């Protein structure tokens, strides 16, 4: 059981995931929390990361820092998505080991799985087939993180673990259309179309791919549960166990925003992986279940965007 007296370093504490983990820790009574902005500590720089972690000597490290983005960003900047994430992970792992951190949680992504993985996707599907080409560089970096955690466990006996969340959304998300994931991008597109009185909105792809969406506060609760009870080599999936088509998601977002125009689809643009639904049986067996429904979560996320 993780003690509320533990000193916890949340890497990436100002991002969507890191800030949610920070909130969850505070709500659980943790008071000794550490976080640095990228201006204070450049995690892509080994010496900067090493000096910061060694000076703080945390008991627990949550690796929520990463370069993230949607299909367009991943397809346009694969070098940055590969190298920046590899550097961040490697530097944090080395620094945590040097500081004798016995408990570390590495957060990856469901894009680690093959494009045509069985559905729902079990953890055992890792490295069983080709990746989705639009985000393979990012996926390879996250796979390297999983192997890194396993390697530190095997060579040094570290009680480090990895969790792979499904598609995330919620407060702190980015709504920049150049880098946003699908759900926040839809919120912005429909909001702006509603304000402009646009008769239609054109969206990428066919609308047929299926995705599941997990509110980031539910992920944060899962992180605390895993730090309490999970200690295995294999990474563990974190999702809701249910999915929707992108077209269904668009209709839901349009309804929440109040947009009543037409939705058109640009089939010349990529769809990405046809389906990506995680098998969440292992984390469910640990006593965790998501609490925030998709419609409720979209509503609260839209409110944070609208009032920002």
Q: Within 10 A of 84 (CB to CB), how many other CB atoms are there? A: 18
**Pairwise CA distance, residues 138 & 74, whole Å:** 7
Whether the bond into 111 is cis, omega within 30 of 0: no
How many helices (H) does the chain have, and how many strands (E)? 10, 13
State yes or no: is 305 an active-site residue.
no
**Pairwise CA distance, residues 46 & 72, whole Å:** 29
CA distances (Å), origin 143, targets 106, 122, 204: 11, 15, 27
**Pairwise CA distance, residues 5 & 26, whole Å:** 11
Q: Which residues of 248-278 are buried (b: 16+ CB within 10 A; e: fewer)?
A: ebbebbbebbebeeebebeeeebbbbebbbb
Give, as one character, the DSSP assignment of residue 278.
B
Please check whether residue 33 is in contact with residue 232, taking contact to mean a CB–CB distance below 8 angstroms: no
Please check whether residue 274 is in contact with residue 213, taking contact to mean a CB–CB distance below 8 angstroms: no
Alpha helices, DSSP H, located in 157-232: 182-196, 216-229
Please check whether residue 105 is in contact with residue 62, taking contact to mean a CB–CB distance below 8 angstroms: yes
User: Of 138, 169, 230, 302, which residue is the catalytic one?
Assistant: 138
Task: Give the pairing of strands 8-11 and 33-34.
Answer: parallel
Give me 6's structure tokens: 């533990």
Catalytic site residues? Answer: 138
């Amino acid at each position: 059981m993780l003690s509320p007296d533990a000193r916890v370093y949340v890497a990436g504490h100002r991002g969507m995931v890191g800030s949610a983990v920070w909130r969850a820790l505070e709500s659980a009574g943790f008071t000794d929390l550490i976080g640095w902005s990228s201006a204070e500590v450049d995690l892509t720089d080994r010496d900067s990361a090493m000096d910061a972690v060694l000076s703080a000597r945390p008991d627990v490290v949550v690796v929520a820092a990463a370069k993230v983005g949607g299909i367009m960003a991943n397809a346009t900047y694969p070098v940055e998505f590969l190298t920046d994430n590899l550097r961040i992970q490697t530097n944090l792992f080395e620094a945590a080991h040097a500081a004798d951190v016995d408990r570390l949680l590495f957060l990856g992504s469901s894009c680690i799985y093959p494009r045509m993985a069985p559905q729902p996707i079990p953890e055992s599907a890792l490295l069983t087939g080709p990746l989705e080409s639009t985000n393979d560089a990012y996926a390879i970096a996250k796979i390297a993180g999983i192997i890194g955690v396993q390697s530190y466990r095997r060579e040094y006996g570290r009680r480090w673990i990895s969790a792979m969340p499904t598609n995330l959304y919620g407060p702190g998300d980015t709504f920049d259309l150049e880098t946003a994931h699908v759900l926040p991008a839809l919120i912005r597109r429909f909001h702006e179309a509603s304000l402009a009185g646009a008769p239609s909105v054109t969206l990428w792809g066919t609308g047929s791919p299926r995705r599941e969406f997990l509110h980031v506060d539910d992920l944060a609760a899962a992180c605390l549960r895993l730090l309490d009870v999970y200690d295995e080599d294999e990474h563990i999936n974190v999702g809701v166990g249910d999915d929707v088509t992108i077209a269904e998601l668009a209709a839901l977002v349009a309804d929440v925003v109040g947009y009543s125009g037409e939705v058109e689809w640009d089939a010349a643009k990529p769809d990405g992986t046809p389906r990506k639904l995680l098998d969440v049986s292992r984390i469910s067996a640990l006593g965790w279940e998501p609490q925030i429904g998709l419609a409720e979560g979209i509503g609260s996320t839209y409110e944070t965007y609208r009032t920002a």
